[in-house]
Amino acid sequence: MYKDHLLVIYLLIFLAAAMMFRILGFINTSAGEILSYVLAAYGIITVYISTGSNKKLNLFFGTVVFLSGIILFVINNFDFYNLSGILFPSVFFIIGIGFLMLFIDNPSDKRIITVAIIFLIFGITLTIILGTPSIQSFYYAILYVSQKHWLLVLILIMIILLTKRAK
């Protein structure tokens, strides 16, 4: 239970720091963006705490929350002609990656990797059918995000390191 309380404390510190940096003008973020950071941070820390502890539901849930935060961040920062072209395939990617994390945590269960591959292939197929992804657009998106939000990424790294030290 101590780790859960510590997680909430770190997330509140992250939220307070993000709001403070927003008020001081160091970052220009919306409430949706800050929520996406909190979801991503909660997911990362939950996955970190759950890995190797035989808490499969927590590991899967943490992965889903983290990736949902990433999707929320992307939706808040980029305009999409066809939003369903990203949301619908994302559901299958998130579920597939959740099962992939379960397999990485317990590689002896081969059924889990089979389920993960099925969901990932379905997500890739939907992305090809519904969207128009390119390597160049992905590169520019990553570059934009890293330039705009480097301070919040640094805070996230600090939270992960603090959690790791407390573990």
pLDDT at 2 over 60: no
pLDDT tens per residue across span 140-160:
766 777 777 677 677 767 776
User: How far is it, in rounded angstroms, from Cα 36 to Cα 6?
Assistant: 20
CA–CA distance from 124 to each of 34, 75, 88, 98, 146 (Å)?
28, 19, 11, 15, 25
Contact 43, 66 (CB under 8 A): yes
User: How far is it, in rounded angstroms, from Cα 102 to Cα 95?
Assistant: 11
User: How far is it, in rounded angstroms, from Cα 89 to Cα 98?
Assistant: 14
pLDDT tens per residue across span 121-146:
998 888 777 766 666 666 676 677 77
Looking at residue 77, what is its pLDDT? 76
Against a cut of 0.85, is the pTM above it? no
pLDDT tens per residue across span 66-93:
999 988 888 887 777 777 777 888 899 9
Contact 26, 152 (CB under 8 A): no
Looking at residue 116, what is its pLDDT? 95
User: How far is it, in rounded angstroms, from Cα 77 to Cα 42?
Assistant: 20
Phi and psi based region of residue 52 (left: phi greater than 0; alpha: psi -120 to 50; beta: remaining): left
User: How far is it, in rounded angstroms, from Cα 73 to Cα 66?
Assistant: 11
> CB-based burial of residue 14 (10 Å sphere; 0-12 exposed, 13-18 middle, 19+ buried)?
buried
Please, which pLDDT band fits residue 46 given cuts at 50, 70 and 90? confident
Tokens (6 digits) for 71: 């999707």
Looking at residue 132, what is its pLDDT? 60
Looking at residue 106, what is its pLDDT? 87
Task: Compute the mean pLDDT over every residue in the chain, rounded to the nearest whole number.
Answer: 81
The stretch 47-73 carries a mean pLDDT of 89
3-class SS of residue 1: coil
Looking at residue 1, what is its pLDDT? 46
The stretch 13-18 carries a mean pLDDT of 82
